[in-house]
Amino acid sequence: MNFRPDISSRCEPRADDPSAQMSVVFAPDYRAGNPYQSLLAESLKNFGCRVSFLSDYRRGLPLARGITPASPDIFHLHWPEYYFKADSPLRRRVRRLRFRTDLFLASHGRCLAVTAHNLIAHEDKGKLDPLIQFAFRRADVIFAHSDDSKLMLIDTLRIRAEKIHLIPCGDLSTSLPPAPDRAAARLRLSLKENEKYALIFGRLAPYKGIEEIVKYWVNRGISITLVIAGSAEERFGQQLRELTNCGGDRIQLRLGHIPDAELADWLVGADCAIFNYPRLLTSGSAALARSFGLPVLFPAWLTTADLGEPSSRVFRFAAIDKEFETHLNDAVTLSADFDTAADWRETTAWSIVAKKTFIGYAEALNRTFAGTSRKARPLWMR
């Protein structure tokens, strides 16, 4: 008979007996720029998981060397491309050559989990990287954020459906201060009381289709004010400056890091958020806007992004055209309303994400160690 972990008995951490806890390592450590890992790790504690982070980049075999001291039950890889990307061609070639061996050694004798934050790296221009493909196929359990993401993984990578677990993208609003008063937020941002504002926010990069939105704003003479707020690399920031200068007062470019309190102000003070990605699996920024009740304009072709539809606050557009302008006018009429997103925040709560993640871990361990002796199993399973 196959061994099945007793999930029901693992609902509380065992601080008095660390060996009874499931040990997990997240890699790479992206906590500084993205709250996802921190929020998930904190919630996994409630299911008896000890989560640590692979923070040090060790030369040679960074995954295998980094994972050895922790010796976790689960090695959870979030963004595989981090380990084979580099600025110089030589470094990039070396990292690509070693990645398969490094990941094989790091995951040998333990379960490998991979979250499908994305399938194609933003800079890869639509081409599936074979090393990404290797990481997903090597995984014992994969976490996807939508049914369409799961289908894409199955069809594109020929992965068995039972290996893929669906989890919500998570309520990222919990990483920010509580939603402020809208009038006070607009005052702090120097927004005019009776003006309508459409927001593009976050890391500003070429792959996000921002230039197309700016050109449309200029050519159509849109009366709504477009605010583009966030950090950008120097070259792209200069391109945005040149483009937005043509828009006059109807386009505001606010370059630079957005502190958490200011971001909360924008999500409450703006009237809608615009996203124009050419491709992705999921969008943390769009999910965050949904959590704050900010109306979202989002590409119709990105069906892999789960935004809790049908929803009167999600407007899907097929192109940046006259129909887009109609959606825009409808969206800004609604404006931000935190209370309208209560259902979305409930369905994407981190307690739900952590529970589903934990179940995925447990089932992967069961498959990996089924039929083995008690002594051969991780301490958590004995």
Token pair listed for 88: 């110089």
Query: How far apart, in Å, are the Cα atoms of 216 and each of 266, 279, 325?
Result: 22, 20, 10
Q: Treating both helix axes as pointing N-terminal to C-terminal, what angle do 130-138 and 147-157 enclose, rounded to 10 degrees? A: 110
Q: How far apart are CA 318 and CA 301, in angstroms?
A: 7
Q: How far apart are CA 55 and CA 343, in angstroms?
A: 35
Helix (H) or strand (E) holding 319: none
Model pLDDT, residue 7: 45
pTM of the predicted structure, to 2 decimals: 0.90
Q: Considering only CA atoms, which of 172, 260, 267, 194 is closest in space to residue 227?
A: 267
28: preceding bond cis by omega (within 30 degrees): yes
Model pLDDT, residue 380: 59
Q: How far apart are CA 371 and CA 378, in angstroms?
A: 13
Q: How far apart are CA 382 and CA 376, in angstroms?
A: 9
Residue 272 DSSP symbol: E
Backbone dihedral region for residue 136 (phi beyond 0: left; psi -120 to 50: alpha; all else: beta): alpha
The fold for domain 7-168+349-381 equals: Rossmann fold (3.40.50)
Q: Is 376 exposed, middle or buried (0-12, 13-18, 19+ CB in 10 A)?
A: exposed
Model pLDDT, residue 1: 30
Q: How far apart are CA 31 and CA 8, in angstroms?
A: 30
Q: Are 217 and 244 in contact (CB under 8 A)?
A: no
Model pLDDT, residue 87: 85
> Where exactly does CATH 3.40.50.2000 map onto the chain?
7-168+349-381, 173-343
pLDDT by residue, tens only, the chain of 382 residues: 333 444 444 444 444 455 568 999 999 999 998 999 999 999 999 999 999 999 987 888 999 999 999 899 999 999 999 999 888 999 999 999 999 999 999 999 899 999 999 988 766 666 889 999 999 999 999 999 999 999 999 999 999 999 999 999 999 999 999 999 999 999 999 999 899 999 999 999 998 999 999 999 999 999 999 999 999 999 999 999 999 998 788 999 999 999 999 999 999 999 999 999 998 899 999 999 999 999 999 999 999 999 999 999 999 999 999 999 999 999 999 999 999 999 999 999 999 999 999 999 999 998 876 656 555 566 656 5
DSSP3 helix / strand / coil % (the chain, rounded to 5): 50, 15, 35
Query: How far apart, in Å, are the Cα atoms of 198 and each of 98, 156, 244, 271, 330?
Result: 45, 35, 14, 6, 12
Which option is the CATH number for 173-343: 3.40.50.80, 3.40.50.1000, 3.10.110.10, 3.40.50.2000? 3.40.50.2000
- Side by side, which strands form the sheet with 111-115? 49-53, 22-27, 74-77, 111-115, 141-144, 164-166
